[in-house]
Amino acid sequence: MRVTVAVPSANDALITVDVHEECALGDLRAAVLCEIGDAAMVERLATRGRFVREGRVIEGGLDRTLESAGIGENDVLVLESDAGGGGSGSGVGVSVEGQMAELRGNAGMMERIRAMHPGLAAAVDRNDATEFQRMMREVTSATEARKRAYEEYAALASADPFDVEAQRKIEEAIRRENVQHNMERAIEETPEAFGQVFMLYVDVEVNGVALKAFVDSGAQMSIMSVTCARRCGLERLIDNNFAGEARGVGVQKIIGRVHQAPLKVAEQFVPIAITVLEKENDIDFIFGLDMLRRHACSIDLKRNVLVIGSTGTELPFLSEAEVGKQMGVFSNGGDAGDTVAKSPAPANDSGEQAPSSATTSRPDEEKISRLMALGFGRQEVINALESTGGNEEFAGALLFG
């Protein structure tokens, strides 16, 4: 439902918030404070603010829900400062520590704050009152700056409606506002989209060596790092005639190809061809689309299994605990999970796509620049990289999706 909150002490601001009827008063207050541009006022209302309706203070404390307080659709409340220091009568004045505790107890609100203001969420998680207050001031200052910039652009346009530069700035401000509203709506309706998705791994054996294979239908070839190839005793079988470069958003050297190696899935053995890359990755072995097609595999997410059609066997996908969080979400730079898009050709004449090399001293900035070159804004790119644990390929897919 929609509730409007008037804040007389903040230039009579009127703030409309979409909330659930089970939302607590404390959560409503936190949402309102994020929209106020006066940092000092935010701090005062955060510790001594109380809600008033029809001239009467709403009793019962911050844990009371809107429904239990009799607040309904399109109701108007007033958020005012308790000048008396938050006496026991109001029941809503709490310390900064108390406010952080309330936020920690509300998973939905924390999910929203974590997506929009990660620094503020980190301060709440650490129970750092000083950092929390500093971040609140930053958030409110940023809100104030956006409003001030929009007012300046509007004033320019009003003075000269035909000023192309002013119109361009207003258009950009409106675009950013629409993006912000779109993100807020997504956080409310599909918060799971802002979490990290654990990737698909299965237990296999290559030439008798147990491996955790990353199942990637977006990788055109099944690939392995040269270190893993040595460990599996396959180095002597690498055909260097298939050496070349794998090109995509980055460049990586292909040192050759193992034309056939024994792959054990469940209790069955199947032949597999492997392209060997020079660069060391977090992932040793990627089970790509070439072998998925060759063995008529199906990724069954409902049952959480990989079905090997050629053998009639099934492999359960591994849990995060079985694989390890860092490996599963590519938190160590993300290059390991990038995919190869074209098969290699002999004698250095390949047109493949592969993981970015990320070998310079500033790999993160390089990833940002490459994705921005595709037509996306810097902040969009940064948000996409953060959402995918730094994985450039998945960030690109997220942006295009």
Catalytic machinery residues: 216
Three-state SS sequence of the chain: CEEEEEECCCCCEEEEEECCCCCEHHHHHHHHHCCCCCHHHHHHHHHHEEEEECCEECCCCCCCECCCCCCCCCCEEEEEECCCCCCCCCCCCCCHHHHHHHHHCCHHHHHHHHHHCHHHHHHHHHCCHHHHHHHHHHHHHHHHHHHHHHHHHHHHHHHCCCCHHHHHHHHHHHHHHHHHHHHHHHHHHCHHHHCCCCCCEEEEEECCEEEEEEECCCCCCCEEEHHHHHHCCCHHHCEHHHCEEEECCCEEEEEEEEEEEEEEECCEEEEEEEEEECCCCCCCEEECHHHHHHCCEEEECCCCEEEECCCCEEEECCCHHHHCHHHHHCCCCCHHHCCCCCCCCCCCCCCECCCCCCCCCCHHHHHHHHHHCCCCCHHHHHHHHHHCCCCHHHHHHHHHC
Q: Evaluate the CA torsion angle 383, 386, 392, 397 in order and state its sign.
A: negative
| Residue that the structure tokens 């192309």 belong to | 164
Beta bridge partners of 52: 57, 78
How far, in Å, CA of 49 to CA of 360, rounded? Answer: 51
Beta bridge partners of 212: 203
